[in-house]
Amino acid sequence: MKLNKIIYGVVFAGLLITAGSGCRKGQFNINQNINSPTDSTITYPAVLPAAMNATGSIIARQWGPIENWMSHWARSGTYAPNVTEETYQITTTFGNGIWNACYDNAYDYQILITKAAQAGATFYEGIARIMKTIDFQILVDVYGDVPYSQALKGSSNPTPVYDKGDVIYKDLLRQIDAGMLLIKNALADAPNANIATTDIMFQGNKTLWAKFGNTLKLRLLIHAYAVGSIDKAAEMAIINAEGSGFLGAGQNAQVNPGYSALDKPNPFFNQYVTNTDGTTSANSVYYKANEWGIDYYHFTEDPRVTSTLTGAGTGNRLYSPGNGGLVGVAYGLPPISANAAAELAGIGPGLTKTVTSPQAILTAAESFFLQAEARQRGIITGGPTADVLLNTGILENFIYLGIPAGTAPTAVANYLSYNAGYPDVDYTTAAPIVSGGPVGGLFTILSQKWFALAGTSTLEVWTDWRRVPYTEVATNVQSIPGAGDAPSTNFVYGDGGGYLGSGLSQGPGPFRSVSPQITPADKIPVRYLYPQTEYNYNAGNVPAGITRYSRVFWDLN
């Protein structure tokens, strides 16, 4: 096994682990040998910041196609169409980076668990156990059943079985518990030395790690809210007994190993603004504002629009305030001069921030949105009401995106006031704006997650769209042409306030691609396909009959 290290300052080591023997010959291998002699040269204090930074890179870099599918972004006309993505006809070679990066990262954490346990470094081991669950949550949410119990075992098992998604989720809950307990009981002794510097997220703060662990658990419970085999009441009892609660105001889980200009940049900035040599990144030209999405921001006069989107384009939009707004492009539109990159709004400063900014793993805003839904569903049974939690999440998101903390409360109040009676924003809306449409409540929470989590937690938006059927929020489901899928099987954005989009994007969202190559049968996928390398080297264990419309275990629609 080959190991390459990139040292970032004193404590920042980037690990890139390539293949040894196993189920994917010559490529990334989910069964690399953790007992390899090569590993003896790696110390657990060096692995921790490297692995945590790699997790941040996964959050930052892997979700462009999902941003497009969820109507946040779209390909600019400067680039030729991506027919595979824009017709939703994905293959076994589409999006393999998520699979590879997550197993690579999980392997780093497994090394850390093994070495820290041997040294009695319980703080390090606890962090690794918690962070490793993020990789497998992502894998399950994207692919469904995946190798878990037999993964990362090395050459002793080159063809691991695939575990059921709900079984993995249940064990992830226990792994987080174990990690939290290890951290809680960790001593300030030699094996745990330097945790304040090697822990590049919370600098050794035990309370924040407990809050983070509980918030990750709540995310799992919300995903599986309709899954009977996962006991939400029992899991909440464990969270309540632990007592630390969830990530609160200003408590964004973010990593920063010492990002600096150009050669050690923040991964999102590097992906969507400039390359390490200072040149403009290709992705900053490729990904531009989605026409449907940008007008949805304008429709609600959401001040976050200039934080999440920015740049060229001041043409008149259907719902733009003032003399005009930022300009987007319909997803899948063939290249023409009017939709060239220079004519369109791009990814905004609230998301790209600066080259030295920390990389978000899980924001305080998302924590409050999760709490709001849990409160609305009765998973959380006490404390602030769902509407209070939701509005706190909106405030936290305003601040995270760069609206000054001193003026953000007034900005939120104005936003809520302007949209009073519209369930996209107003949780208390009692009557539908559109006949048969939704009222305030769950629809409001999920709609606000669409506005807030673009670019920071895109997988969660796709997950919400898949797991919550429109029938759960609509008062009388009707046919809704133009939406990304049938309203009875997936969530529908924008329908609550009568927003229909503009230009080519006429209808609720996420708006379906306008690619000329698309067929009526092509709809937004509800999962990725397993990588072709799995079929090449582990075919006996890959679940049979999987298509882009085979649902993940929590997607019961």
pLDDT (tens digit, 9 = 90+) per residue, 310-327? 765 444 343 344 445 688
For residue 41, give the DSSP letter.
Answer: G
C-alpha distances out from residue 161 to 18, 111, 139, 483, 545, Å: 22, 21, 15, 37, 16
| The pLDDT of residue 2 is above 50 | no
| The pLDDT of residue 33 is above 70 | no
> Do the domains 3-68+75-246+526-537 and 295-497 sit in the same CATH topology, yes or no?
no
Q: In terms of pLDDT, which residue wins out, 18 or 284?
A: 284
The alpha-carbon radius of gyration of the chain (Å, integer) is 23
| The pLDDT of residue 29 is above 80 | no
Contacts of 556 (CB under 8 A, 6+ apart): 226, 227, 467
Contacts of 319 (CB under 8 A, 6+ apart): 295, 298, 299, 325, 499, 502
Question: Which two three-digit tokens encode residue 277?
Answer: 């040599």
Q: List, for residues 429-469, the tens digit of each pLDDT value.
A: 999 988 888 999 999 999 999 999 999 999 999 999 999 99
3-state secondary structure of 178: helix
Q: Are 431 and 439 in contact (CB under 8 A)?
A: yes
Question: Which two three-digit tokens encode residue 122?
Answer: 């319980």
What does the pLDDT read at residue 25?
Answer: 30
Contacts of 10 (CB under 8 A, 6+ apart): 197, 258
What does the pLDDT read at residue 39?
Answer: 63
Question: Which two three-digit tokens encode residue 507?
Answer: 């209808």
Q: Which stretches within 358-401 are classed as H helix?
A: 364-377, 386-400
- Residue type at 160 in one-letter notation: P
pLDDT band of residue 477 (cuts 50, 70, 90) is low
The fold of 3-68+75-246+526-537 is: 1.25.40
- Residues 412, 246, 255, 28, CA torsion sign: negative
CA separation for the pair 436, 125 (Å, rounded):
52
Q: List, for residues 362-384, the tens digit of each pLDDT value.
A: 999 999 999 999 999 999 999 99
pLDDT band of residue 56 (cuts 50, 70, 90) is very high
pLDDT band of residue 280 (cuts 50, 70, 90) is very high
| The pLDDT of residue 15 is above 50 | no
3-state secondary structure of 392: helix
Q: Are 408 and 252 in contact (CB under 8 A)?
A: no
Q: List, for residues 140-163, the tens digit of each pLDDT value.
A: 999 999 999 999 987 788 899 999
CATH of domain 295-497: 1.20.120.840
Closest CA to 533 of 146, 24, 94: 24
| The pLDDT of residue 425 is above 90 | yes
Beta bridge partners of 311: 345
Q: Where are the domains of the chain?
A: 3-68+75-246+526-537, 295-497
pLDDT band of residue 488 (cuts 50, 70, 90) is low
Please, which contacts does 199-202 make with residues 24 or more away whose CB atoms are closer than 8 Å? 199/48, 199/49, 199/52, 199/123, 199/127, 200/11, 200/12, 200/48, 200/49, 200/52, 200/53, 200/255, 200/256, 200/257, 201/52, 201/253, 201/254, 201/255, 201/361, 202/253
- Residues 285, 286, 290, 291, CA torsion sign: positive
Over range 261-273, report the average pLDDT. 91
What does the pLDDT read at residue 324?
Answer: 52
C-alpha distances out from residue 291 to 116, 317, 373, Å: 49, 9, 29
